[in-house]
């Protein structure tokens, strides 16, 4: 049995795809539909000039 949580689900899925002889069951917890779904969009860092936030 292989368990993957969040982005670890991608690794667990890859193992199941590439080595099905090693995986008897696959459990995915809070795993997105693809790695692109797990990566946050680029955001500007909140440096000293942007602190404290005005909103």
Residue 23 has pLDDT above 70, yes or no: yes
Task: Kindly report the pTM of this predicted structure.
Answer: 0.60
Rg (C-alpha) for the chain, rounded Å, is 18
Q: Which two tokens stand for residue 39?
A: 């990566």
Site of tokens 């890859």: 14
Residue 38 has pLDDT above 60, yes or no: no
User: Measured between alpha carbons, how far is 14 from 11 in angstroms, rounded to an integer?
Assistant: 5
pLDDT computed for residue 7 by the predictor: 85
Instruction: Name the range with the highest mean pLDDT among 13-22, 31-40, 44-53.
Output: 13-22
């Amino acid at each position: 049995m292989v368990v993957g949580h969040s982005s670890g689900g991608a690794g667990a899925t890859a193992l199941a795809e590439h080595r099905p002889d090693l995986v008897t069951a696959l459990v995915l917890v809070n795993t997105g539909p693809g790695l692109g779904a797990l990566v946050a969009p680029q955001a500007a860092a909140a440096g000293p000039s942007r602190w404290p936030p005005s909103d």
